[in-house]
């Protein structure tokens, strides 16, 4: 039986179960890495259940056992959080590289186009500038898009939403698009499993009137 079809008994594992079938067959590393995060929760959950069922522990003893289990779990999540941060940094660097590569070389022809664009935009109002920018995006004219962005007076008139649209078009047309998409997906998966794990640990803590911040 493969990990992809295992049915877990906790929300962290169930989320991993849902992720597994979406991965390419060549990806043999993601699920085991995510299962390591699940193992942190499972260990804490087992300890908490054992404490709750113990005939030897007082209520105070149970609470202390829970605090210790959660403290260990939080500590064991630290290296996984470091991995998530590294994945985010890698994706951010690739995104920056992709956006920079979309500007291309500023040849004499490009410089002339930039000057023409600046002249054409002189005195235009924000609606006109954004319309011209959107028109260039719609036909994939990145030379004009970049020229508008390089014109300080025009760039200042572009709305945040329009700039986001411009970045999306550039990224989609970048040779790094597939690489970036894969990196961002990996980061999202990792961050999501970490978030779910923390939520489940917080639920364990709440049963005993604790907060995760209380056990650090």
Domain match, 109 and 165 both:
yes
* 4-31 mean pLDDT: 86
Domain match, 195 and 158 both:
no
Domain match, 96 and 112 both:
no
Q: Is residue 17 predicted with pLDDT exceeding 70?
A: yes
Instruction: Give pLDDT tens digits for 26-62.
Output: 999 999 999 999 999 999 999 989 988 888 888 888 8
Q: What confidence score (pLDDT) does residue 77 get?
A: 96
Q: What confidence score (pLDDT) does residue 171 get?
A: 93
Look up the domain containing 58 and give its range. 3-100+184-215
Query: For the chain, how many structural domains are there in total?
Result: 2
Domain match, 8 and 92 both:
yes
Provide long-range contacts, Cβ within 8 A and 24+ apart, for 31-37.
31/3, 31/4, 32/3, 33/83, 33/190, 34/189, 34/190, 34/193, 35/3, 36/80, 37/12, 37/77, 37/80, 37/193, 37/194, 37/197
pTM of the complete model? 0.80
Position 178 in a domain:
no
* 52-74 mean pLDDT: 89
* Confidence grade of residue 2 (pLDDT, cut at 50, 70, 90): very low
Domain match, 10 and 85 both:
yes
């Amino acid at each position: 039986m493969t990990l992809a079809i295992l049915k877990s008994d906790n929300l962290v594992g169930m989320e991993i179960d849902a992720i597994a079938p979406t991965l390419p067959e060549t990806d043999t590393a993601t699920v085991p890495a995510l299962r390591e995060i699940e193992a942190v929760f499972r260990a804490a959950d087992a300890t908490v259940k054992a404490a709750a069922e113990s005939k030897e522990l007082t209520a105070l003893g149970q609470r202390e056992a829970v605090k210790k289990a959660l403290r260990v779990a939080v500590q064991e999540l630290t290296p996984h959080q470091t991995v998530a941060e590294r994945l985010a940094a890698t994706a951010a660097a690739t995104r920056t590289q992709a956006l920079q590569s979309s500007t291309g070389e500023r040849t004499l022809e490009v410089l002339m186009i930039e000057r023409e664009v600046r002249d054409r935009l002189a005195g235009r109002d924000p609606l006109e500038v954004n319309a011209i920018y959107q028109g260039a995006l719609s036909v994939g004219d990145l030379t004009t898009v970049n020229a508008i962005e390089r014109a300080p007076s025009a760039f200042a008139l572009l709305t945040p939403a329009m700039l986001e649209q411009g970045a999306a078009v550039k990224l989609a047309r970048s040779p790094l698009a597939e690489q970036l998409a894969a990196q961002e997906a990996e980061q999202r998966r990792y961050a999501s499993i970490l978030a779910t794990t923390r939520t489940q640990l917080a639920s364990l803590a709440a049963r005993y009137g604790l907060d995760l911040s209380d056990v650090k």
